[in-house]
Amino acid sequence: MKKIIAAVLAAVILTFAAAAFAAGNITLEDAKQIALDRAGAAAEDAVFTKAHPDHDDGRPVYDIEFCVGTTEYEMDVDAATGEVTEFETEEHGLLAADGQITEETAKGIALAHAGFKAEEVTFKKVRLDRDDGRAVYEIEFAENGMEHEYDIDAASGRILEYDTDRAD
């Protein structure tokens, strides 16, 4: 009987604690939209590499990171107010003379999306090709028994397709 009472009491306490934390806080989806708005980016152009609740100096925030084209954005969004409390950008490459992203930039976009660094993978193919009249980087790399394939628009840096499979 004591175990049942203790379990019910624990459930009630957890429910109230979760409600208290959530009260007045914005959602993760709200924080992502706030970050996109601050960057002046559209959701369909962004590739999120990190988006999770965190704490900064004891206050709840959402840690948000995403890439749009050749630019990586890192932000902290206050979970209570929705205010962007930290904002950083980093360029991962410049456009080539022909107005396209560079091969290195395309590789960086694929790696950021997959969550790896260049030294953690083995590149099998990096090729600029044409697909339906559009310049596309085809990128393949392997990591720890997995193969990752990406098609990246050479004009915008947008990921058009990606696939991950176990290596044969």
Q: Count of CB atoms within 10 A of residue 137's CB?
A: 25
pLDDT in tens, 89-133: 877 655 555 678 888 888 989 998 898 988 999 999 999 888 888
pLDDT given for residue 81 in this prediction = 95
12 and 80 co-located in one domain: yes
pLDDT in tens, 16-54: 434 434 556 899 999 999 999 999 988 888 878 788 999
pLDDT given for residue 7 in this prediction = 53
Full residue range of the structural domain in which residue 84 is found: 2-91
Q: What is the pTM of this model?
A: 0.50
pLDDT given for residue 19 in this prediction = 43
Mean pLDDT over 61-89 rounds to 89
15 and 63 co-located in one domain: yes
Query: DSSP secondary structure string, 43-99?
Result: GGGEEEEEEEEEEETTEEEEEEEEEETTEEEEEEEETTT--EEEEEEEE---B-TTS
74 and 36 co-located in one domain: yes
On whether residue 14 sits in a domain, the answer given is yes
pLDDT given for residue 168 in this prediction = 72
Q: Please state the domain count of the chain.
A: 2
Q: Which of 137, 136, 2, 134 is nearest to 123 (CA)?
A: 137
